[in-house]
Amino acid sequence: MTTATLIVQGGKAPAPDALTHIAALSHASSVRPISATSFHLPRADKTPESVAAIAQYAQEAHLDVFWRDDTKLRLQNFRAFISDMDSTLITIECIDELADYHGVKAEVAAITERAMQGELNFAQSLTARVALLRGLPVSAVTAVMRERMRLSPGAEKLIAGMRAAGLYTVLVSGGFTPFAEHLQNWLGFDEAHSNTLEIVDGHLTGRVLGTIMDAQAKARQLVITTRKLHCARRQIIALGDGANDIPMLRTSGLGVAWRAKPALRTVADATLDFAPLDGVLNFFA
């Protein structure tokens, strides 16, 4: 049997009996607050039985748990943070909102969901979805950014924390350049990589220019980052929500799934279903 530090957190302060029950299941030595909504449980017994029981109870109690096996795990030991954009750092799928302006949201959203679940090849699905946007005025892009683009809870604190710890920050998105560049400036990312929509005479042509930022391209960008920083893959933290992020999380040293689709959850090192995005920082507290 091994012991680990168990991190328990949620979107609001957990009920005292919930922490007491998790502490009993794990035989943790104590319960120590990190904040009003997050807690350390040191020297918790990590067995297949305790992991399964705590995972089930935590879901019922609307809590996230993370088993920190490495007592020397420090945020400063990582060199870079790489993240998806749509439905991760922001609350929307930008292409769905553009489709809404064009009257084809239902058709595009159906293809988006199948792609995120891993049922469709991303590049093919993106090509099909963008084709449905043919003729949309570019002013709709600006309108979506102004009226509908919102940060997910904790996004600003997360990126500020990563930057304060000295991590290089990279945004990789299967979405589109105007949104990625806007988010890069908003949150202070060092780099942003996404897809470029072809625009002619102020309207979308329904085509994507250049190489599509699909799942493999995201993973390649992570490797490129390691080469740029002369670091190892284990020194990269990756964050995403869908099947398109699987290779990126698998390639990273710590892969975090945010409100994730089932396909991504199975490969992630940690999941956040209830805590805000800056809950990632509590893994190192």
Per residue in 158-192, pLDDT (tens digit) is: 999 999 999 999 999 999 999 999 999 999 999 99
Same-domain pairing of 197 and 222: yes
**Listed residue (194, 198, 233, 228) closest to 214, CA to CA:** 194
Higher local confidence (pLDDT), 2 or 237: 237
Residues above pLDDT 90, as percent of the chain: 87
Same-domain pairing of 82 and 215: yes
Same-domain pairing of 23 and 89: no
Residue 111 pLDDT more than 80? Answer: yes
Same-domain pairing of 40 and 94: no
Domain region containing 269? 75-285
Catalytic residue, candidates 45, 64, 70, 86: 86
Q: How far apart are CA 155 and CA 277, in angstroms?
A: 6
Phi-psi region for residue 120, left (φ > 0), alpha (ψ -120 to 50) or beta? beta
Per residue in 190-226, pLDDT (tens digit) is: 999 999 999 999 999 999 999 999 999 999 999 999 9
End residue of a domain, out of 71, 93, 123: 71
pTM for the model stands at: 0.94
Q: How far apart are CA 267 and CA 133, in angstroms?
A: 33
pLDDT value, residue 112: 76
End residue of a domain, out of 48, 71, 94: 71
Same-domain pairing of 65 and 95: no
Q: What's the pLDDT band for 116 if we cut at 50, 70, 90?
A: low
Q: How far apart are CA 26 and CA 3, in angstroms?
A: 9
pLDDT value, residue 284: 95
Q: How far apart are CA 112 and CA 20, in angstroms?
A: 41
Taking the alpha carbons of 255, 258, 260, 266 in that order, is the dihedral positive or negative? positive
**Listed residue (31, 38, 32) closest to 11, CA to CA:** 38
Asked if 58 contacts 8 with a C-beta cutoff of 8 angstroms, the reply is yes
Q: How far apart are CA 97 and CA 190, in angstroms?
A: 26
CATH of the domain at 62: 3.30.70.260
End residue of a domain, out of 28, 43, 71: 71
Same-domain pairing of 145 and 17: no
Q: How far apart are CA 65 and CA 52, in angstroms?
A: 11
Catalytic residue, candidates 64, 84, 245, 278: 84
84 is catalytic: yes
Average pLDDT, rounded, for the chain? 94
pLDDT value, residue 226: 98
Q: Total domain count for the chain? A: 2
Same-domain pairing of 84 and 174: yes
Burial class (CB in 10 A: 0-12, 13-18, 19+), 43: middle
86 is catalytic: yes
